[in-house]
Structure 1
Amino acid sequence: MTATLTLDTVTLPSAPVGAPNPLPAVAAMPQAPYEASTDGLPDDLAENIRYGQVGSIHPYLLQDQYARERTDEPMRVAVLENDLLRAEFAVDLGGRLVRLLDKATGRDLVYRNEVFQPANLGLRNAWFSGGVEWNIGMRGHWPLTCAPLYAAALTAPDGEPVLRMWEYERVRGVIVQIDATLDSTVAALHVRVRVRNPHADETGMYWWTNIAVAQTESSRVFAPATHAYQTQYDGTLAHVDVAAPDVSRPAHAAQAADWFYDLGGDAMPWIAALEPDGTGLAHVSSVRLSGRKLFVWGDTTGGRHWQEWLGGSYFEIQGGLTTTQYENLRMPGGATWEWTETFLPLHVDGADAEWAAACAVVGAQVGRATDAADASRLDAVADLAPERMLNVGAPWGALESALAARYDAPFDTLPGVRFDAMAGDDADYWRGLLGLADAGDSDAATPPPSYVAGPLWDRLLAESTPTWLTHYHRAVAAHASGNRTEAAAHYEASLRLRPTAWALRGRGLLKTAADEGDAGVAHLADALALAPGLAPLALELGEALLAAGRAEEVSGFVDSLPAELRSRGRFRVLAVRAALASGAGDEARRMLEDEFDVPDIREGELSMSDLWREAFPARPVPERYDFSMA
Structure 2
Amino acid sequence: MTATLTLTSVTLPSAPVGAPNPLPAVAAMPQAPYEASTVGLPDAIAENIRYGQVTSILPYLLQDQYTRERTDAPMRLAVLENDLMRAEFALDLGGRLVRLLDKATGRDLVYRNEVFQPANLGLRNAWFSGGVEWNIGMRGHWPLTCAPLYAAAITAPDGEPVLRMWEYERVRGLIVQMDATLDSTVAALHVHVRVRNPHADETGMYWWTNIAVAQTDGSRVFAPATHAYQTQYDGTLAQVDVASPDVSRPAEAQAAADWFYALDDSQTPWIAALEPDGSGLGHVSSPRLAGRKLFVWGDTTGGRHWQHWLGGATGSYFEIQGGLATTQYEHLRMPGRATWEWTETFLPLQVAGVSSADWPSAVEAVGAEIGRAADATDASRLEAVADLEPGEVLNVGSPWGALEATLAERYGAAFESLPGVRFDPSAGDDAAYWRDLLHSDSRFADGADRADGADRADADADGADASADGADRAGDADVATPPASYVAGARWERLLAEAPASWLTHYHRAVMAHARGDLTGATAHYEASLRSHRSAWALRGLGLVEMASGDPDAGVAHLSDALTLAADLAPIALELGDALLAAGRAEEASRLVASLPAELRERGRFRVLAVRSALASGDRAEAGRMLEDEFDVPDIREGELSMSELWRQAFPDRPVPARYDFSMT
Does the CA-based 8 Å contact 1:26-1:58 persist in structure 2? yes
Aligned to 1:237: 237
The separation in 1 between residues aligned to 2:589 and 2:559, in whole angstroms, is 14
- Label 1:44 to 1:4 Cα distance change in 2 as closer, same or farther (>3 A): same
Partner of 2:648: 613
Within the candidate set 582, 586, 599, 1:547 is matched to 582
How far apart, CA to CA, are the structure 2 residues paired with 1:294 and 1:94? 22
- Distance (Å, rounded) in 1 between the aligned partners of 2:107 and 2:481: 49
Query: 1:118-175: CA deviations, max 9, x gaps?
Result: 0000000000000000000000000000000000000000000000000000000000
Structure 1 residue corresponding to 2:354, chosen from 331, 351, 354? 351
- For residues 489-522 of structure 1, what are the alpha-carbon distances to aligned partners after superposition, in whole Å with 9 as ceiling and x for unaligned? 1101100000000000000000001110010000
Query: Which residue of the partner structure matches residue 363 of structure 1?
Result: 367
Aligned ranges 1:174-185 → 2 under 5 Å: 174-185=174-185
Pairing partner for 1:338 from 322, 337, 341 = 341
Cα separation, 2, equivalents of 1:200 and 1:509 = 35
Distance 1:90 1:555, change over 3 A: same
Instruction: Check whether the contact 1:99–1:110 (CA below 8 A) recurs between aligned residues.
Output: yes
Instruction: Supply the distance in 2 between the matched residues of 1:36 and 1:15 (Cα, whole angstroms).
Output: 33
TM-score (norm 2): 0.94
Superposed, 1:158-197 pairs within 5 Å as: 158-197=158-197
- Tell me if the contact between 1:533 and 1:562 (Cα under 8 Å) persists in the aligned partners: no
Deviating beyond 2 angstroms after TM superposition, the runs of 4 or more aligned structure 1 residues are: 436-441
Specify the alignment match of 2:317 in structure 1. Answer: 314
User: Which ranges of structure 1 fall in alignment gaps of 5 or more residues?
Assistant: none
- Paired position in structure 2 for 1:206: 206
Tell me which amino acid in the other structure corresponds to 1:273: A
Q: Tell whether the 8 Å contact from 1:224 to 1:266 is kept in structure 2 after alignment.
A: no
| Aligned 8 A contact 1:38 1:49 in 2 | yes
2:468 aligned partner:
none
Q: For 1:179 and 1:364, how far apart are their aligned partners in 2?
A: 27
Equivalent position amino acid for 1:375 in 2? A
Indicate yes or no: 2:524 matched with 1:520.
Answer: no
Once the two structures are TM-superposed, the CA of residue 568 in structure 1 deviates from its matched residue by 0.3
| Contact 1:432–1:440, Cα closer than 8 Å, also in 2 | no
Q: Does 1:428 align with 2:463?
A: no
Residue 596 (structure 1) aligns with: 631
Describe how 1:463-478 pairs up with structure 2 within 5 A. 463-478=498-513
Residue 453 of structure 2 corresponds to none
- Paired with 2:542 and 2:235, the residues of 1 have a C-alpha distance of 35
* Aligned equivalents of 2:266, 2:141: Cα separation in 1: 27
2:591 corresponds in structure 1 to 556
Say whether 1:379 aligns with 2:414. Answer: no
Map 1:205-354; keep pairs closer than 5 Å.
205-311=205-311, 312-352=315-355, 353-354=357-358
1:544-597 deviation per Cα after TM superposition (whole angstroms, max 9, x unaligned):
000000001111110100111000000000000010010111110000000100
**Counterparts of 1:160 and 1:489, CA distance in 2:** 58
Deviations 1:453-480 (A, max 9, x none): 0110011111111110000000001100
1:510 counterpart residue number:
545
Residues 376-417 of structure 1: per-residue CA shift (max 9 Å, x gap): 000000000001000000000000000001111000000000
Of 460-469 and 428-437, more deviation after overlay is shown by 428-437
From 481, 492, 498, the equivalent of 2:533 is 498
Deviation at 1:266, TM superposition (A): 3.7
- Cα shift readout 1:41-100 (whole Å, capped 9, x = no counterpart): 000010000000000000000000000000000000000000000000000000000000
In 1: Cα distance, 2:239 partner to 2:498 partner: 54
SS of corresponding position for 1:427: helix
- Structure 1 residues 437, 428: closer, same or farther in 2, change over 3 A? farther
Residue of 578, 583, 608 corresponding to 2:618: 583
Counterpart in the other structure of 2:456 = none
Aligned to 1:92: 92
Match of 2:477 among 442, 445, 464: 442
Per the TM alignment, residue 267 of structure 1 is displaced from its structure 2 partner at its CA by 2.4
Taking the aligned partners of 1:342 and 1:434, their CA distance within structure 2 comes to 42
Deviation at 1:440, TM superposition (A): 6.7
Q: What are structure 2's unaligned runs of at least 5 residues?
A: 443-473
Cα distance in 1 for partners of 2:206, 2:649 equals: 40
Aligned partner of residue 159 in structure 1, secondary structure: coil
Query: What CA distance in whole angstroms lies between the structure 2 residues aligned with 1:378 and 1:246?
Result: 38
Cα offsets for 1:160-209 (capped at 9, x unmatched): 00000000000000000000000000000000000000000000000000
Tell me what 2:13 maps to: 13
Partner residue, 1:416 = 420
> Does the 8 Å contact 1:302/1:629 carry over to 2?
yes
2:430 alignment partner, SS class: coil
- Per the TM alignment, residue 355 of structure 1 is displaced from its structure 2 partner at its CA by 1.4
Aligned residues: 630
CA-CA distance at 1:436 after TM superposition? 7.5
Q: Which amino acid aligns with 2:93?
A: L
Q: Is the 8 A contact 1:153 1:388 kept in 2?
A: yes
Partner in structure 2 of residue 488 of structure 1 = 523
Q: Does 1:74 align with 2:74?
A: yes
1:422-475 deviation per Cα after TM superposition (whole angstroms, max 9, x unaligned): 001000000000117999731100000100001100111111111100000000
Give distance in 2, aligned partners of 1:219 and 1:436. 60
Q: Following the alignment from structure 2 to structure 1, what is the Cα–Cα distance between the partners of residues 112 and 187?
A: 19
Cα distance change on mapping 1:408 and 1:76 into 2, 3 Å: same
Output the CA distance in 2 between the equivalents of 1:274 and 1:204.
Answer: 34
Question: Which amino acid in the other structure matches residue 413 of structure 1?
Answer: S
Q: In structure 1, give the amino acid aligned to 2:337.
A: G
Task: Return the offset for 1:356.
Answer: 1.3
